[in-house]
Chain A
Amino acid sequence: ETGVTQTPRHLVMGMTNKKSLKCEQHLGHNAMYWYKQSAKKPLELMFVYNFKEQTENNSVPSRFSPECPNSSHLFLHLHTLQPEDSALYLCASSQGVGASYEQYFGPGTRLTVT
């Protein structure tokens, strides 16, 4: 499945590093999402972008900074993370944000903060 791609697939970073996660969707969708999945916890929505505009920030700490330059690309900039931020970060996209639209997920970036 190559509709939504994420890079890198794995990332190890120190607490003082700055890194970025990239997501690209090839489906012509207008909405994009960042989710976090920690071990043994349900997926948590972090951010929603619709037509490049951020429409939802789910009380995410400022050390996570999203960027959506166009409807096909979404970035998550990371800085001064904590070990508890280690998780699987998933990107998704959908045609719209209405309740009838399904979301398509990327494979995720496995992040380890040391």
Chain B
Amino acid sequence: DAKTTQPNSMESNEEEPVHLPCNHSTISGTDYIHWYRQLPSQGPEYVIHGLTSNVNNRMASLAIAEDRKSSTLILHRATLRDAAVYYCILRGLNYGGATNKLIFGTGTLLAVQP
């Protein structure tokens, strides 16, 4: 059980921002929020992760709610290459045991229209 809730699918237009939501109401104080994506016929790709503060990297931004019960992955300008399944995953001892394993759910399928 991934303990996160994401929409099954979303659509975006190329070159527009995309906000991918994730709810994780049972998050505990030591759980990290990880985002991965999987393009068709490829292995998953790490996108970003955070604990409490918002995070930015070259791929995306992660906005974490003040109560940490939800987060949003932001792609600032969607491209056709961003069409993928996006997974929001909590990582911590409560979900992954001693190895803090990643537990993948079904994710959000993002379609990008030209």
Residues on A lying within 8 angstroms of B by beta carbon are 1, 4, 31, 33, 42-43, 45, 48, 50, 55-56, 58, 90, 92, 97-100, 102-108
Report the nearest B residue to A6, measured CB to CB: B43
Chain B positions within 8 Å of A4 at CB level: 43
**SS class of chain B's interface: helix, strand, loop or mixed?**
loop
Whether A48 lies near B43 (C-beta < 8 A) is no
Can you list 10 A-B contacts (CB < 8 A)? Answer: A42-B2, A42-B104, A43-B104, A50-B99, A55-B98, A56-B97, A99-B91, A102-B49, A105-B46, A108-B43
Q: Which 4 A-B pairs have the closest CB atoms?
A: A105-B43, A43-B104, A99-B100, A102-B46
Shortest C-beta distance, A29 to chain B (Å), equals 12
B19 at the interface (CB under 8 A from A): no
